Copies of this chain bind each other. A is one copy, B any other.
Amino acid sequence: MAAELPTDDFDALLTDSQRASRALGVAPAPQRHAAILAIAEAIEAASDDILAANAADLERGRGTGLAEGMLDRLLLDRERIAGLAAAARQLAELPDPIGEVLRQRTLPNGLDLTEVRVPFGVIGVIYEARPNVTVDLACIALGSGNAVVLRGGSAAEQTNAVLVEAMQGAIEAAGLPRASVQTIDRFGRDGAGRLMRARGLVDLLVPRGSAALIERVVTESTVPVIETGAGVVHAFVDRAAQLPMALEIVLNAKTQRTSVCNALETVLVHRDIADTAVPALAEALQQAGVTVHADGPLPGAARTEPLGESGWSTEHLSMDVAIGVVDDLDAAIEHINRYGTHHTDTIVTEDADAAGTFLAQVDSAVVMHNASTRFTDGGEFGFGAEVGISTQKSHARGPMGLTELTSTKWIVRGTGQVRA
């Protein structure tokens, strides 16, 4: 497929994105919000076409043996389409981040320096077979004044094509360039690689998906990347924990939804309370249908399976959890910083000092005290939708919403000043 296209079609597409980004960069917020609302309308109006394309993708997926979980992620129905439109309308209500003044100072020579928030320009996103991401990302990009170039999973190709077409019509009707939202799915596998090497045309690249995808993008890309996703998430049950609260938080973090990055992988228990807490935790988890893993016998002889191949670094994404006993708070922090992915980690304790040490020394995007790790989420944080959850420290850390898709610019206003 890609071979039939002249090689410069790809650059032409990105140049269109760049031109669109310049228009978006000066478009007032009401116009960008109107485009988001128009997208909500357009998606509802195109429901029949979207469902037909989605049915075709699903049938192809069943034919190629896609797993049930993947098919469920791929599936759109009328309720899910209504949900997408509702999320878009909610995003259009959020305050506009563009133009916000971050720092201001006047130098002794009278020069006025102002740092303001500006859009990035063109943002590339490489993601897997979830058509809802297509709409979320388009709306977040418009909300932050950016053009977006999407590379969705091939399993959702027909669905995404219809969604993008509908959204482009809505954007155009709102007086903004169609190229504000583009897909490179028609360039096939080659497209992702070219996007990674489009330094100068693409300002930021966000991979959203499997660890293998993220690894590839980080290694190959010459465009700045924000890593998202992988979550080896911990709960530390301190010796000063209230056991009922610990049980509730651990059960919620593990079982409320298992296929997500903020779900729990490992429970660490303070040795001083291990004899009572470990059996109670293990039993509650097992009763809820969770398989408990450990690297040796656990206090109270709870039935356990061995750790997986990756040991304490395993991201289960399933009804499996590892339980370990640690000597003290420092050992818990050491374990988390060593085996975790710097995503989300929580301490359960009534000891304010222990909580303070944990919150300060655990080196993760989100650190929690007496709360379920499942709260690490753009929606829960009040960001509307989210681009993903950044697990790196550069640019953005934690859930990424509108603000996280902005850059800054220094504006210097003078009256003829020169440097002595």
A residues whose Cβ falls under 8 Å from a Cβ of B = 22, 25-26, 105, 107, 111, 113, 115, 120-121, 199, 203-204, 218-219, 222, 224-226, 242, 245, 248-249, 251-253, 256, 337, 346, 359-361, 363-372, 374-376, 380-382, 392-395, 397-398, 407-419
Contact = CB atoms under 8 A, between A and B. Distances in A.
19 contacts: A22-B337, A22-B363, A25-B360, A224-B225, A224-B393, A245-B416, A249-B418, A346-B412, A365-B410, A366-B410, A367-B412, A369-B412, A370-B414, A370-B417, A374-B419, A376-B410, A394-B394, A397-B407, A397-B410
Given A203-B394, A365-B410, A367-B410, 20 more contacts: A25-B360, A105-B382, A120-B393, A199-B218, A203-B393, A224-B393, A224-B395, A249-B416, A365-B409, A371-B416, A372-B417, A372-B418, A372-B419, A376-B410, A376-B412, A393-B407, A394-B395, A395-B395, A397-B409, A398-B410
Contacts of A248: 416, 418
Contacts of A370: 413-417
A396 to B, nearest CB: 8
How many subunits of this chain does the assembly comprise? Answer: 2
Nearest to A22: B361
Contacts of A253: 418
A234 to B, nearest CB: 14
Which of A366, A375, A398 is packed against the most chain B CB atoms within 10 Å? A375
Contact of A367 (B367, B380, B409): B409
Nearest 10 A-B pairs (CB), nearest first? A371-B414, A252-B418, A393-B407, A224-B394, A374-B419, A395-B395, A368-B412, A245-B416, A372-B418, A366-B410
A369 B113 CA distance: 11
Given A25-B361, A111-B375, A382-B105, A408 B417 contact: no
A63 to B, nearest CB: 36
Contacts of A245: 416
B360 A26 contact: yes
Contacts of A365: 409-410
Contacts of A414: 368-371
A152 to B, nearest CB: 23
A105 B417 CA distance: 42
A338 to B, nearest CB: 10
